[in-house]
Structure 1
């Protein structure tokens, strides 16, 4: 008879953990409070013909994503079609813009054109980034990080200096480049990690290889195609999904979890995996069984929340690419507003995604689908008036590059999403959007543990634990937890003789 595992939440890490556990012979039940899978990677459609991905939009590290499907005898192309973007994205500055081409040779030529000698420096930077990617994604991020002894391998010891663990990312980039546009271009990928480049280890230049080196892709139909594919894989392994089901209490006896109360009903389980917000999951436990105190969470450095606008426009917007980074103001000033003063930035930087440049399915013919994202401090006020004020600021910047006046009058669909929505929909701590920042003091063993230290069959997965925020890391996180459960808990009850 199979042992039963409950998974709280159907985000990327929950889908991953569910698939791997079911493959190993467990009876797996996924409980999701919302009406569809995906967590922050959900999708919605409108009555007037738009389809919006609600969260992730950068399809990077395609090898990591494809490895998930290979583990079940598939490849990503069995479920959806990927388009490789060229240019990968535009960065718009106050005095010009850069388009990052897809070709490595063209990237090198672009760097050389902007700063003599930078082409060779780009090659050196990317060679080092490739090494970090290969070591990091194979030897670092796949570890459960329950002990520092996990990292005592000959390969890691030999490569320790080349991994630049103790160098900050900004100093590292400036060893190679001095032109401010090139520095911004190379710093951009680590913004996904939720902290200033001054506070992130140079190890994470691996992100540059995972993006620039391996290419930027888009799955036709939207990023949600990945969620649907992962759900299909899970169901084929026998996973049971329960949508509109809210986990209300984790019930324990002695040093173990015995049951989960969902929608007022108590159900017995042999193990529980929390793919929901880590802090929220701990509130489902009695205080003596929690890994961390409220003071612990207050002392963490969280990645930002954000203001998102899902917009439909009645006409095409010139000079806008699929991915666009509006860096017309000072990056450090915006970062200070997130981490120091914790207020709305006066002169914000933001990201605009326009998937209708690539995909005819996401907007009515002749219309444009635009997703705007402005990083913010967690836990701040986000009333409608503030949201509208900052929409105005972002539209103004879009008008400058498009040449269209009164662009706001062209909007025929509008929806905002901000700090309080992340709290309501995902129980996100203070409305964070991207989990914990990947600072040195919050890396590896210093992240919240994947195992409950007082209950022997409660595990945690997702962006608040190892390996960290992002879609590929979340896929890996689910696999790590499944391996730990499979190692520590037999999938079947022993026969009674």
Structure 2
């Protein structure tokens, strides 16, 4: 039986492990941290439960397809609730509520801009077509050749790869709040809306068309489900096992070194940070130079706060976006002139609003996120300064006082992303999906210099986000199965 070593245990690694174990390989996963899940881990403190990484469950069809491939369903492992409202967006002078169906969302759009609902239905109709093409055709290709993007469907939509989301949205909607609402979902792809091809409007269908969901117990339930499935299929897990070296002999991978021990294998897949993974190789076997990584556009990093409140909070939903400052300016301070943002937009997640298991009775679990440029200086003083900014604005817009109700606060930022995930420049989401970093223009799933060495995850194809990571794991396993 051929042996496969998988480095890291995030979504893409777990996905690849399951597919390869199902195909009869002997799969071992090596994870540097104490628990599996990569960035999708949990913090438990004083009866509060925080997902410390991904917190949005979008594209439920992708998760369902994954489990279906093994004769299972998501409901075999966890229970999903559709959120209504999906989320709230707080502006300086108004709050937009995104409901759980198009009729409710159209009504809200009409309230803001008369006549906008008919434009919205057309826009989302086109986004749905793009979603079908993206999910069923384009993203299922391994990014080995430009020709993968050429299908009869994409040929008719080639202009959408050269126009941007911003152009597409602003052509139809005039109200700046509606523009921000429609540009927001592509931030999950890690780039400015003005730099993201309009084909990626499929994210708007993922948002408005498929809705926002919550797995009871938090996002970590998906990791637990995938680990459980992997173990059923025979995968072995080694936690507290950082990989120090990827071993190569005569241009072919022969295994890894972890905790000073050698593990021989026929194939190695790294789901760890791509840049870091290449540093585990002797120099002559690295595909990409330091200057290659330096020039790429990365998705943001994040300043995160995990806060336990001793009371139920008012005027909040499960997901809350605070767009009460200048969207464009904050985007510039992430991408164009990297610096700590002068007036940051931020996001707050209160899973305890819909899931009583996430906080003690009568309390609230709060996860605050400020997107920032990767590679910034990160100090305790800066973290504290930004917490003060965020909590003051949060209190102002939700019309309450929360400071004296804080039981504890933990933070996570650039230094932690580097230390815990070996993340390049402390990025939180990988490499942005700009036109020049789409499909075959992203770092390869397959090493061009070392035989039987593969990569998976958010720096390669299809890109950042949880559903794309599940797909990335499938793509890399397919490449290995084709060799067999």
Uncovered stretches (5+) of structure 2, i.e. residues with no partner: none
CA contact (8 A) 1:85 1:216 kept: yes
363, 366, 381: which one pairs with 1:367?
A: 363
Q: Measure the CA separation in 2 of the matches of 1:6 and 1:211.
A: 36
Correspondence list, 1:34-49, <5 A: 34-46=33-45, 48-49=46-47
406, 425, 430: which one pairs with 2:425?
A: 430
Look up the SS of the partner of 1:318 in the other structure: coil
CA contact (8 A) 1:321 1:357 kept: yes
1:120 match? 118
Q: Measure the CA separation in 1 of the matches of 2:75 and 2:51.
A: 20
Q: How big is each residue's C-alpha offset from its partner over 1:293-313, in whole Å with a ceiling of 9 and x where there is no partner?
A: 000000000011010000000
Q: How big is each residue's C-alpha offset from its partner over 1:29-75, in whole Å with a ceiling of 9 and x where there is no partner?
A: 000000111111101211x2101101111100000011000000111
1:478 match? 473
Q: Measure the CA separation in 1 of the matches of 2:191 and 2:161.
A: 16
Look up the SS of the partner of 2:161 in the other structure: coil
CA contact (8 A) 2:138 2:148 kept: no
Q: Measure the CA separation in 2 of the matches of 1:165 and 1:208.
A: 16
Q: 1:293 to 1:109 in 2, by over 3 A?
A: same
Q: Measure the CA separation in 1 of the matches of 2:44 and 2:481.
A: 38
Q: How big is each residue's C-alpha offset from its partner over 1:384-425, in whole Å with a ceiling of 9 and x where there is no partner?
A: 0100110011100111133223x2221112100000000000
**Is 1:418–2:418 an aligned residue pair?**
no
Q: How big is each residue's C-alpha offset from its partner over 1:330-386, in whole Å with a ceiling of 9 and x where there is no partner?
A: 011111111222111111100000001001111111011000000011111110010
2:130 match? 132
Q: 1:152 to 1:169 in 2, by over 3 A?
A: closer
CA contact (8 A) 2:97 2:108 kept: no
Q: Measure the CA separation in 1 of the matches of 2:158 and 2:126.
A: 13
TM-score, normalised by the number of residues in structure 2 = 0.99
Q: How big is each residue's C-alpha offset from its partner over 1:109-154, in whole Å with a ceiling of 9 and x where there is no partner?
A: 2212221221100010000000000001111111001111223333
Aligned-pair CA distance for 1:264: 0.3
Aligned-pair CA distance for 1:165: 1.1
Look up the SS of the partner of 1:261 in the other structure: strand
CA contact (8 A) 2:217 2:358 kept: yes
Aligned-pair CA distance for 1:321: 0.7
1:339 match? 335
Look up the SS of the partner of 1:25 in the other structure: coil
Q: Measure the CA separation in 1 of the matches of 2:53 and 2:44.
A: 14
Q: Measure the CA separation in 2 of the matches of 1:253 and 1:28.
A: 21
Aligned-pair CA distance for 1:235: 0.8
CA contact (8 A) 2:101 2:208 kept: no
* Over 4 Å off, 4+ runs: none
1:101 match? 99
Q: How well do the aligned residues superpose, as a CA RMSD in angstroms?
A: 0.9
2:251 match? 255
CA contact (8 A) 1:89 1:321 kept: yes
1:52 match? 50
CA contact (8 A) 2:455 2:476 kept: yes
2:194 match? 198
2:456 match? 461
Look up the SS of the partner of 2:480 in the other structure: helix
Q: Measure the CA separation in 1 of the matches of 2:307 and 2:426.
A: 22
Q: Measure the CA separation in 2 of the matches of 1:219 and 1:313.
A: 22
Look up the SS of the partner of 2:16 in the other structure: helix
Q: Measure the CA separation in 2 of the matches of 1:157 and 1:94.
A: 42
1:245 match? 241
Q: 1:397 to 1:267 in 2, by over 3 A?
A: same
Correspondence list, 1:87-486, <5 A: 87-161=85-159, 164-405=160-401, 407-486=402-481
CA contact (8 A) 1:419 1:432 kept: yes
Q: Measure the CA separation in 2 of the matches of 1:261 and 1:347.
A: 45
Aligned-pair CA distance for 1:157: 2.7
Q: Measure the CA separation in 1 of the matches of 2:303 and 2:157.
A: 40
Look up the SS of the partner of 1:454 in the other structure: coil
Aligned-pair CA distance for 1:159: 4.4
CA contact (8 A) 1:320 1:401 kept: no
